[in-house]
Structure 1
Amino acid sequence: MVDPTPTDAPVIELRGAGKTYRSGSIEFEALKGIDLAIHEGEYVAIMGPSGSGKSTIMNVLGCLDTLTRGEYRLGGTDVNDLDEVDLAAIRNRQIGFVFQGFNLLSSLPAWRNVELPLIYGGVPRNERKERAEQALVRVGLGDRFENRPGELSGGQQQRVAVARALVGEPTMILADEPTGNLDSVSTQDVLALFDELHARGRTIVLITHELEVARRAARIVWVRDGEILRDELNEDVAA
């Protein structure tokens, strides 16, 4: 099991992170100066109800949105100093995204969906196919290379999405409500896959409003009203 309290520099670090949304004269403070550090190999769940700020944290960590104030460092780099080209490169190379809605292209077979980040990264076609198929084998879909999303169960589609997140060997996996559209059996299958990835040393940040899902992580960060209420180890997993 990965040491839940490593001593090296964090992969993710938020310092005084604040985010204010404005619409005309109306302001909404989604994040209220939070501090958060996540180290390489950690499995962290960010847990909270709708409107708690967890989705804003996800967007900031994924370089999909920027802070109004404070600092975000990813792998030691101050994200606030980067332009859109640099941010796009970070999203493609350092972050593997897994979304609630799978975000698969229905007309493409599984391996073609998985190779998409490699296309954006300029990887040659032959290498893309080989790496996509290897990623599908890693998530237990070695016999589903040519199946389109409509020919796969919800759990299998989410496994394709995880393979797509893994194919570029990113610094971290950022999963936003990844079990929200799954039945209980598929939910357990996907969470077991995250357990395996964590055991192999992968950094995973899981955004969820479900306590049962959050409890699979080695550390749970409780968020409410744009603030971190608690940040604690899950002793059942971290032991």
Structure 2
Amino acid sequence: MSQASVLPSFRAPGSSEPVIKLAEARKTYKTGSIEFEALRGIDLSIAEGEYVAVVGPSGSGKSTIMNILGCLDTLTSGSYLLAGENVEDLDEAELASVRNRRIGFVFQQFHLLASLSAWRNVELPMMYAGVHRDERRARAVAALERVGLGDRIDNKPGQLSGGQQQRVAVARALVTEPTMILADEPTGNLDSHSTEEVLGLFDELHASGRTIVLITHEHDVAARARRTVHVRDGLITAEEASA
């Protein structure tokens, strides 16, 4: 069986199974004899095409949720089903492929390489996937045009504003055509104008059918999502739909 055949394949909208399902999810970190339970048995389901914000104060467990959903960390106990597949059943190569091809990541820190132009930063996920150079450039330029930076493809990060750098990061997340976008405090380093630009991009991505999970401590940012999940002390304390 080929690697591609055992990777989670995101189903079409309308599928009865959620694309994300956490059940009794627990995560405990250990430092010497000290243990800290970051997640304390949470249940969370997200349907394909949903726009969900996970909101809570610092230390609430929301970034741990993001790391689990993005296959960047593993649960201590409980289960995580991604498109119906138990993540624990995937080996390291399969997890790496899921992270690179199926999930687009956007972080508070833009994680752009200062020595590379915008399009070369955007092409990086495709380099890891073995895409041919000419196709990488074409797709990187198209992604930058999609986020309104078609005239900045050759600019390096130092020549771009904070909002523009985050848009480059969004383009990089989009270039592999992932079905799901995970965004961890993506507006944390932005002014109000740039925040509105980036949230506008997420609105467009949601309208196009992508699943978006937005991690934030800002309630006005969370209000842009269609559903808000409130987290505190490693527990989900409330869920509400946007008006």
Above 0.5 in TM-score?
Answer: yes
Q: Percent identity?
A: 71
The letter of the residue matching 1:155 is: G
2:141 counterpart of 1:133: yes
4+ aligned runs moved over 2 Å, structure 1? 5-8
Cα-to-partner distance string for 1:17-71 (whole Å, 9 max, x where unaligned): 0001111111111101111111111100000000100010011001110000000
2:143 counterpart of 1:145: no
Aligned to 1:113: 121
Aligned residue among 184, 188, 202 for 1:180? 188
Mapping 1:32-181, distance limit 5 Å? 32-181=40-189
Partners in 1 of 2:181 and 2:91 — Cα distance? Answer: 22
Aligned to 1:194: 202
Partners in 2 of 1:66 and 1:78 — Cα distance? Answer: 11
Partners in 2 of 1:51 and 1:228 — Cα distance? Answer: 13
Give the SS at the match of 1:145.
coil
Partners in 2 of 1:189 and 1:171 — Cα distance? Answer: 21
Aligned to 1:226: 234
Give the SS at the match of 2:109.
coil
The letter of the residue matching 1:132 is: A
Partners in 1 of 2:69 and 2:15 — Cα distance? Answer: 21
Partners in 1 of 2:107 and 2:222 — Cα distance? Answer: 16
Give the SS at the match of 1:8.
coil
Residue 180 of structure 1: how far off its partner (Å): 0.4
Aligned to 2:6: none
Aligned residue among 210, 215, 227 for 1:207? 215
Give the SS at the match of 1:115.
helix
Cα-to-partner distance string for 1:82-137 (whole Å, 9 max, x where unaligned): 22211111110111000101000011111000000000011111100000011111
The letter of the residue matching 1:79 is: V
TM-score, normalisation: structure 1: 0.94
Cα-to-partner distance string for 1:161-198 (whole Å, 9 max, x where unaligned): 00000000112000000000001111111111111111
The letter of the residue matching 1:209 is: H
TM-score, normalisation: structure 2: 0.93
Structure 1 unaligned spans of 5+: none
Partners in 2 of 1:8 and 1:120 — Cα distance? Answer: 33
Paired residues in the alignment total 231
Partners in 2 of 1:167 and 1:187 — Cα distance? Answer: 21
Partners in 2 of 1:200 and 1:171 — Cα distance? Answer: 10
Partners in 2 of 1:229 and 1:121 — Cα distance? Answer: 39
2:26 counterpart of 1:18: yes
Partners in 2 of 1:6 and 1:44 — Cα distance? Answer: 17
**Root-mean-square deviation over aligned CA pairs:** 1.1
Structure 2 unaligned spans of 5+: 1-12
Partners in 1 of 2:97 and 2:121 — Cα distance? Answer: 19
